[in-house]
Amino acid sequence: MSTLYSSFNASISGLNANATRLSAISDNIANSGTAGYRRLNTSFHSMVLSGSGQGSYMAGGVRATTTRMIGESGALSTTNNATDLAVNGRGFLPVTTEAALGGGGNVPLMMMTTGSFSPDAQGILRNETGMVLLGWPTGRDGSVGTPPRDSLGSLQPIQINRDRFVPEPTTEMRMRINLPATDTRAGSDGSARAMSLEYYSPVGSTERLGVSFEPDVPASGVSNTWTMQITNPNDGDTVIGEYTITFADSMPDAGRIVSVTQPAGAPGGAYDPDTGTLRIEVDGQEIDFDIGRPGSTDSLSQMASSFEPVEVNRNGAPIQSLIGVEVDANGMVRATYDSGLIRVIAQIPLVDVPNPNGLESLDNQAFRVSATSGPLFLWNAGDGPTGQIVGYALEGSGTDVAAELTSMIQTQRAYSSNAKVIQTVDEMLQETTNMKR
């Protein structure tokens, strides 16, 4: 009789196992349109009763376990939103919950393989379920330094309006001017040649520098020497740079710079003949002033009898407004401004763990590190084992509906077969009962 009862129990375990499999199938099919969904896989495992190999056989039955196939990626599809992000390969986007931002300190880390992110009223990138995208903010030079890779302390919400309005202060100016050689001859009136140059301050305002060239008029002959002064009109035309420039008057370098020196105690940085630049400081802002190298045709010149600005330009830009952001394959968040300036404002790393299938599954296609997943490590996208980040894209569901429907038919048949065994055992037990009457 115990053998019959073991058959009864084994079939009941078969019903439970196939019910578990059907639950997983229903979950997979229900999420066939969910971006970033990872399908559930059900495995069956036999159970053997101790001692069943001695004498009468005792049916042990079956148990079912489910595993979410987090390591299996879905297909990518393109979108029209620059901050729709997907990972093409291994790795996860670091995210946290909206509620966690108000707690202060380190935020709890969760991970997603894809997400449709957009800025909220504060400019923080989050998706429709409230998951907030995390990354490393950059400095003014666009670098993130050396953040820790095995901890979360340096991760912050990506906030794109942190630099909604940015200036690009001038750091370099280039000046190519022809000075009249006749002005340095004996008998010249010695009048200075002056001009005004624009530059951009650290707060985005347009400011001016005064530049004057005063010829050295000798008692006889030609001096070929000028005194260049750079002044700050905002400070009463204070001289912030003074240099003596001498030009050649014979071949092969006629009209080219021979030397640039400074009078004793003159303001301004020293002239570097290797680069043709000198450094000035105006209201705390340092600017490298390029006048050309000695003997070079690409420099200030002294020829003929005309004062002619050939080229005057500078880098930088006035205050600029943010018009959009994009994320490149390496996770760099690039902000584009209306002046055409593009700046890196943050970097999104990719999270990797030794066993992705061991991650704890959460709502909204999010995952969390667990004891079976192993510790996390933050990689630059595209480095190490990780894939690249794809903008304008979302990852589709990992469900194959056709395969799930096939599995559902198999599960139904297996369930019916187990039910038939239970019915048969019940009839056999009934026969045994009738034998006693």
Residue range 214-251, pLDDT digits in tens: 999 999 999 999 999 999 999 999 999 999 999 999 99
Structure tokens at 294: 């000695």
List the one residue out of 398, 333, 358 whose CA is nearest residue 93: 333
Q: Does position 263 have pLDDT exceeding 90, yes or no?
A: yes
pLDDT at 51: 58
The CATH T-level fold of domain 170-315 is Tick-borne Encephalitis virus Glycoprotein; domain 1 (2.60.98)
d(Cα 33, Cα 404) in Å, to the nearest integer? Answer: 14
Spell out the residues 6+ positions from residue 250 whose beta carbon is closer than 8 angstroms to its own: none
User: Which stretch of DSSP H or E encloses residue 215?
Assistant: strand 206-215
pLDDT tens-digit readout, 345-398:
999 999 999 999 999 999 999 999 999 999 999 999 999 999 999 999 999 999
pLDDT category, 9, cuts 50, 70, 90?
Answer: confident
Element (H, E) at 342: strand 342-347
- CB-based contacts of 185, cutoff 8 Å, min separation 6: 217, 218, 221, 222
> In DSSP terms, which residues pair with 86 in a beta bridge?
114, 390
Longest CA–CA separation in the chain, Å: 148
User: pLDDT at residue 173 above 90?
Assistant: yes
pLDDT for residue 104: 55
Mean pLDDT of 75-98: 95
Return the minimum-mean-pLDDT range out of 260-264, 336-340, 377-381: 336-340
State the pLDDT at residue 430.
84
pLDDT band for position 50 (50/70/90)?
A: low
pTM: 0.71
> Do 179 and 193 touch, CB atoms closer than 8 A?
yes
Q: How far is CA 415 from CA 267, 289, 420, in A?
A: 93, 84, 9
Predicted pLDDT of residue 107 = 73
Element (H, E) at 405: helix 401-435
**Using CA atoms, how far apart are residues 373 and 367, in angstroms rounded to an integer?**
10
347: CB partners within 8 A, 6+ apart: 135, 136, 138, 144, 330, 331, 332, 333, 380
Percentage of residues in the chain having pLDDT higher than 90: 74
Straight-line distance from the first to the last Cα atom of the chain, in angstroms, rounded to the nearest whole number: 17
Q: Is 113 exposed, middle or buried (0-12, 13-18, 19+ CB in 10 A)?
A: buried
* Cis peptide upstream of residue 167 (ω within 30 degrees of 0): no
* CA dist., res. 275 & res. 171, Å (int): 15
**196: Cα separation from own chain's centroid:** 41
Quickly list DSSP for 7-50.
Answer: HHHHHHHHHHHHHHHHHHHHHHHHTTT-TT---EEEEEEE---T
Flag whether pLDDT at 167 surpasses 70: yes
Q: Which pair of tokens denotes residue 422?
A: 């239970």
Average pLDDT taken over every residue of the chain: 91
Q: Give the per-residue SS3 of 130-149.
A: CEEEEEEECCCCCCCCCCCC
pLDDT in tens, 114-157: 999 999 988 899 999 999 999 999 987 788 888 999 888 789 99
Whether 391 and 327 have beta carbons less than 8 Å apart is answered as yes
Rounded-to-integer distance, Cα 116 and Cα 131, Å: 10
Contacts of residue 121, defined as CB under 8 A and 6 or more positions apart, other chains included, come to none
The strand pair at 62-68 and 393-395 is best described as unpaired
Domain ranges across the chain? 2-69+398-435, 89-158+342-395, 170-315
Q: Strands 172-179, 285-290: parallel, antiparallel or unpaired by DSSP? A: parallel
Element (H or E) spanning 198, and its range?
Answer: strand 193-200
Scored b (16 or more CB within 10 A) or e, 391-413 reads: bbbbbbbbbeeeebeebbeebee
Note the pLDDT of residue 7: 82
Query: 34, 397 in Cβ contact below 8 A?
Result: yes
